[in-house]
């Protein structure tokens, strides 16, 4: 559970991310595909070369969804319900991959927002992304 202070740290940084979802999300996916090659297998229909239009577009969708989750941080189950269905029933992404993506997102935030991304802020994001991942993997069984 995130404290009020942790929620504020997440929502604040989301405000700074929101205009740059494609670039930042694309970078997170580039890092995911480079460091954790097995994650590429879910995207056989994408051009996965670094910085490709496919990767940026998809990264933008992922970070926008995270922004939406932050707007509904106290009711994420409902806010992410459709995405949860998609990942569990259609895509069947192995739940372990969510941790890998969360790690890459945090790396991007640290690189681009060094002043904001203090240890406390990272701890808040780690909790938040774990909560988002828990919702997206909650319907697997
Ligand atoms: C699709 C968000 C984790 C694989 C999507 C979409 C969003 C999204 C917003 C687009 C849905 C639509 O078009 O209606 C997220 C979030 C994640 C997450 C917020 C975790 C924080 C993952 C992980 C994988 C993955 C870990 C696999 C490594 C996919 C695939 C698609 C997809 C294969 C369909 C892509 C396409 O064909 O357009 N996700 N996702 N997702 N996601 Fe995720």
DSSP structure string for 37-66? GGGGGG-TTS--STT-HHHHHHHHHHHHHH
Q: Give CA–CA dist 33/41, Å, rounded.
A: 9
Q: Give CA–CA dist 20/83, Å, rounded.
A: 21
Ligand 1 atom having least distance to the Cα of 80: 19
Measured from CB, residues less than 6 Å from any atom of ligand 1 are: 39, 42-43, 61-62, 65-66, 83, 86-87, 91, 93, 97-98, 101, 132-133, 136
Ligand 1 atom having least distance to the Cα of 45: 37
In this predicted structure, the answer to whether residue 140 has a pLDDT above a threshold of 90 is: no
In this predicted structure, the answer to whether residue 141 has a pLDDT above a threshold of 80 is: no
Cβ atoms of 21 and 63 within 8 Å: the answer is yes
Residue range 80-87: mean pLDDT, rounded: 96
Q: Give CA–CA dist 132/141, Å, rounded.
A: 17
pLDDT one-digit tens code per residue, 105-135 = 999 999 999 999 999 999 999 999 999 999 9
pLDDT one-digit tens code per residue, 16-54 = 999 999 999 999 999 999 999 999 999 999 999 999 999
Q: Give CA–CA dist 111/7, Å, rounded.
A: 21
Give me the pLDDT at residue 114, please: 98
Give me the pLDDT at residue 20, please: 98
């Amino acid at each position: 559970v995130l404290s009020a202070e942790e929620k504020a740290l997440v929502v604040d940084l989301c405000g700074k991310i929101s205009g740059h979802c494609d670039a930042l999300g694309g970078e997170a996916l580039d890092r995911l595909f480079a460091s954790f090659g097995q994650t590429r297998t879910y995207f056989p229909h994408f051009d996965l070369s670094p910085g490709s239009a496919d990767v940026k577009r998809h990264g933008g969708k992922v970070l926008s969804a995270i922004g939406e989750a932050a707007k509904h941080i106290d009711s994420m189950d409902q806010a992410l319900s459709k995405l949860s269905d998609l990942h569990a029933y259609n895509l069947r992404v192995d739940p372990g991959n969510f941790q890998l993506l969360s790690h890459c997102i945090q790396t991007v935030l640290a690189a681009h927002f060094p002043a904001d991304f203090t240890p406390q802020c990272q701890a808040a994001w780690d909790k938040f992304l774990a909560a988002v991942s828990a919702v997206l993997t909650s319907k697997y069984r």
